[in-house]
Amino acid sequence: MSDIERTVIIGSGPAGWSAAIYAARANLKPLLFEGTTKPEMIPLGQLAFTTEVENYAGFPAGNIRAFVESAVDSDRHYNLPPVPKGHEKDGQPHYAVQGVELMELMKQQALNFGTRVVGDDIVDVDFSGDVHTIIPASGEPVKARTVIIATGARANYLGLESEEKYKNKGVSACAVCDGALPMYRRQPLAVIGGGDTAVEEASYLANLDGADKIYLVHRRDELRASKVMADRAKSHPNIEILWNSVVEEVLGDEERVTGLKLSSTIDDSTTELDVKGMFVAIGHTPNTGFLAGKLDMNSSGYIQWTKPFRTETSVQGVFAAGDVADDYYRQAITSAGTGCMAALDSERYLAEAGL
Ligand SMILES: Cc1cc2nc3c(=O)[nH]c(=O)nc-3n(C[C@H](O)[C@H](O)[C@H](O)COP(=O)(O)OP(=O)(O)OC[C@H]3O[C@@H](n4cnc5c(N)ncnc54)[C@H](O)[C@@H]3O)c2cc1C
């Protein structure tokens, strides 16, 4: 490690690795802290929690060979991988990049350009001077001219054992990410929650081609979502709102979700709901606990970008990228995009300061 690093990156999701790729190529010699403490800080970020990723540009799902043959000239077909054996859907070759695989590729790309990686959590920072200090859980404090915070946000779950058991087998926290996967397509599904996100997720699922019934399960007798959103859900022909209901248990056949056991919040009754998937939409928690009081955040703890279309924060030389500052899009590709922006913003900051 140098006496003073030029760029330290905290976080190892798409935002962190993209920032590292750009920073390393710009010769900033980035040092990246991965985060190790589960469940919040799984190395490789949130995509490490999921299986197939179908919507990251450049990584098509399906019969990849046929796809690439249709997309690039024939003189480049010689290096096309066939769909790996055993990967089939409806008798056709089918493959989609796995979340962990996509992240390993990003990590390797960052390593190839010289990113140095430390498997440690950052537990504190000192942003009071011109040079910033980053304090890892174990090991020496690190000094840096610029810091890119890319620590993500974790989805909140209900906390049921059965929910944990069926994650990736019918339980998800992201309809935009997973709703179009074959396991959920044209199936009755439940969305849990009553805020704008829950209504958006329910609407997204209900508008998918051939959508079956979407149940919006809410513990109160009115939605917290804005009136426009709430009216949209109430009037959608495919959405049925189940009021005053909470999920007691996720039911399944070991392989996947087959239903939900719901209990009423107004009496002792319970019901079983036949659904093939449950989307939990009860909010996210940004991984910013270690930054409390160190820079400006909104009331939910997300870091605030201080200029439109830039990744600057309220502290000079400190930039934020990905879900930790974005409670709106929350996608791998948008996180990677702002990771790239943060590296470019860092580089320009250092150049302007003559550092
Ligand atoms: C189950 C699931 C499926 C998803 N599927 C898709 C999909 O198909 N397509 C899609 O586009 N998006 C999907 N998403 C959303 C996507 O994963 C996120 O938008 C994206 O990963 C955010 O990237 P990020 O780099 O901002 O943060 P993250 O991916 O959350 O990575 C941040 C990482 O930083 C590290 N970290 C945190 N705190 C510290 C600390 N104090 N010190 C050091 N390191 C720290 C941790 O390792 C953490 O995991 C899915 C999300 C989930 C939960």
Per-residue pLDDT of 19-59, as tens digits, reads: 999 999 999 999 999 998 766 677 899 898 888 888 999 88
Q: State which H helix or E strand residue 228 sits in.
A: helix 227-235
Q: Answer whether residue 279 shows pLDDT above 80.
A: yes
Of 125, 153, 117, the C-alpha closest to 45 is 153
The residues facing 242 across adjacent strands are 217
Annotated catalytic residue 174: yes
pTM score? 0.87
8-state DSSP, 167? B
For the chain, list the domains and their CATH numbers.
Answer: 5-55+97-155+285-352 (3.50.50.60), 62-95 (no CATH), 161-282 (3.50.50.60)
Is residue 327 annotated as a catalytic residue, yes or no? Answer: no
User: Which of the listed residues 38, 42, 47 should we mutate to test ligand 1's pocket, taking the one with most ligand atoms within 8 A of CB?
Assistant: 47
Average of pLDDT values for 288-302? Answer: 96
Q: pLDDT tens, 149-168?
A: 999 999 999 999 999 999 99
Closest CA to 30 of 43, 47, 17, 41: 17
User: Is 79 in a helix, a strand, or coil?
Assistant: helix
Q: How far apart are CA 12 and CA 151, in angstroms?
A: 7
* Residue bearing the bigger pLDDT, 264 or 90: 264
Q: Examine the pLDDT at 287 and tell me if it is beyond 80.
A: yes
- The Cα angle at residue 333 between residues 330 and 338, in degrees rounded to 5: 80
Report the distance separating Cα 237 and Cα 197, nearest Å. Answer: 19
pLDDT score, position 176: 85
Q: Read off the tokens for 279.
A: 């989307």
DSSP 174: -
- The answer, yes or no, to whether residue 268 has pLDDT greater than 70, is yes
**Is 178 annotated as catalytic?**
yes
Distance in Å, CA 272 to ligand 1 centroid: 33
**Average of per-residue pLDDT across 96-115:** 94
Tell me if 11 sits within 8 A of 100, measured CB to CB: no
240: number of Cβ within 10 Å: 17
**From the CB of 144, is ligand 1 less than 6 Å away?**
no
The confidence band for 196, taking pLDDT boundaries of 50, 70 and 90, is confident
Is the distance from the beta carbon of residue 98 to the nearest atom of ligand 1 less than 6 Å?
no
Using one digit for the tens of pLDDT, what is the confidence trace for 316-335? 999 999 999 999 999 999 99
In this prediction, residue 216 has a pLDDT band, given cuts at 50, 70 and 90, of very high
How do residues 218-251 score in pLDDT, each as one tens digit?
999 999 888 888 898 899 999 999 999 999 999 9
Mutate which of 164, 174, 334 for ligand 1? The one with the most ligand atoms within 8 Å of its CB, which is 174
Q: How far is the CA of 262 from the CAs of 32, 266, 268, in angstroms?
A: 44, 12, 11
Amino acid present at 226? S
Q: What is the 3-state secondary structure (H, E, C) of 180-204?
A: CCCCCCCCCEEEECCCHHHHHHHHH
Q: Pick the residue with more confidence: 126 or 225?
A: 126
Residue 60 has pLDDT above 90, yes or no: no
The whole-chain average pLDDT of the chain stands at 92
Residue 150 has, within 13 A of its CA and on its CB side, a CA count of: 39
Positions of E strands within the chain: 5-10, 31-33, 88-89, 92-93, 116-118, 122-126, 132-136, 142-149, 153-155, 171-172, 189-192, 214-217, 239-242, 245-252, 257-264, 270-273, 277-280, 284-286, 318-320
Beta strand 257-264 pairing with 270-273:
antiparallel
CA of 333 to the centre of ligand 1 (A): 11
Alpha-carbon distance of 309 to 31, in angstroms, equals: 25
Cα–Cα distance, 331 to 323 (Å, whole number): 8
* 179 Cβ inside 6 Å of ligand 1: no
Res. 79: pLDDT tops 80? no
